[in-house]
Structure 1
Amino acid sequence: MNHCHECGHRLTLRPFPEEGDVPYCTPCAAFRFPVFSTAVSTAILNPAMDRVLLIRQTNRDDFILLAGYVKKGEDAENTLVREVREEVGLNVTAFEYMRSRYFARTNTLMLNFVCVADSEDVSRLNYEISKAVWFPLHEATRQIKDGSLAKAFLLAIVARLGDNEQRLRPAASILN
């Protein structure tokens, strides 16, 4: 970040207690901490929790996990439910937050979830998705794009599911 998001003035670095050098706007007399996007990513499991849905975005060749940006005023859990419904036409019945990772290419903090869908019916894909395929869990780890953040998330989810058979948190327990 080189310029103030409020006034457009060029930022300089100034020491900030316990933070090191932080961009500072002299006209605004304010420190400007980094601004980035926030998105959710999810491995969608079928109701039996033995298959995962991988998608291909329109004009892309690789399988990935479903993901979408958090809208202003929206929390991550509602984003998860909205994105799954909008992109693949499924309803989330349960979910669990897994972990986060920063994705430098798009300056985005990715919040990763695993969720359970109410069915395997992917007949209502929106324009962003060219293909959606249910794979057995370990097969999905071979199908997803190598070296991707999605693959790292999926491997962690498969390990989590293998280590612990407990049910995920019902979606209704968190959402309005």
Structure 2
Amino acid sequence: MKYCHECGTELLLKDCNGEGEVPFCKACGSFRFPVFSTAVSTAVLNKEMNKILLIKQYNRPDYILLAGYVNKGEDAESTVVREVKEEVGLDIISYQYMRSLYFEPSNTLMLNFISVADSEDLSRMDRTEVDDAAWFTFEEAARNIKKNSLAETFLLAIIKSLDAGKVTLQPAAVKGD
């Protein structure tokens, strides 16, 4: 970040109480920490935890994990539940946070989850958001996911964690809990 997002003044680096040098706007008298978007991605599993749901969007040919941006005032877990419901019409019954990675092309911090859906019924899928969705075995998902993508990185790590028995799912919170 080279210029202040409030007034446009060129920023200079200034020591910020133990944070090291941080961009500072002399005109506003404020430090300007990095600003980026936050999104979630999730490997949606069936109840038996032996299939993964992959989707295609925006007329692109590749399968990816289901993902969406975190809304202002929303926590990441609620975003997972909301996005899955909005995009493919499934209710999430449990989930686990896995890891995060920064995605430079869209200046987004991606928070990755495993989630378990209440069914495999895709009849309520929103065709304005999702072009196609399909359930795959772990091996099929690894073959069909977009190659060299963040989705593939997350998927392969999730499959490895599942195979190693390193997944401890938490019940999904119901609105109002």
TM-score past 0.5 threshold: yes
Richer in strand (by share): 1
Amino acid at match of 1:92: I
Q: How many pairs align?
A: 176
Report the secondary structure of 1:156's partner residue.
helix
Is 1:27 the counterpart of 2:30 in the alignment? no
Aligned twin of 2:133: 132
Normalization by structure 1: what TM-score?
Answer: 0.93
1:26-105 residue pairs with structure 2 within 5 A?
A: 26-105=26-105
Instruction: Rate the CA distance shift 1:75–1:166 in 2: closer, same or farther, 3 A.
Output: closer
Is 1:2 the counterpart of 2:2 in the alignment? yes
Unmatched 5+ residue regions in structure 1?
A: none
Aligned-residue offset at 1:174: 9.5
Aligned twin of 1:155: 156
Per-residue CA shift, 1:79-105, capped at 9, x if unaligned?
010000000000000000000000000
Aligned twin of 2:118: 118
Unmatched 5+ residue regions in structure 2?
A: none
Aligned-residue offset at 1:165: 7.1
The question of whether the paired residues in 2 share the 8 Å contact of 1:78 and 1:175 is answered with: no
Measured on the aligned residues, the alpha-carbon RMSD in Å equals 1.8
In 1: Cα distance, 2:67 partner to 2:24 partner: 33
Instruction: Rate the CA distance shift 1:51–1:81 in 2: closer, same or farther, 3 A.
Output: same
| Percent identity of equivalent pairs | 59
Aligned-residue offset at 1:47: 1.0
Instruction: Rate the CA distance shift 1:25–1:164 in 2: closer, same or farther, 3 A.
Output: same
Instruction: Rate the CA distance shift 1:167–1:175 in 2: closer, same or farther, 3 A.
Output: farther
In 2: Cα distance, 1:152 partner to 1:166 partner: 17
In 2: Cα distance, 1:12 partner to 1:18 partner: 17
Moved more, 128-137 or 163-172: 163-172
Report the secondary structure of 1:153's partner residue.
helix
In 1: Cα distance, 2:101 partner to 2:86 partner: 24
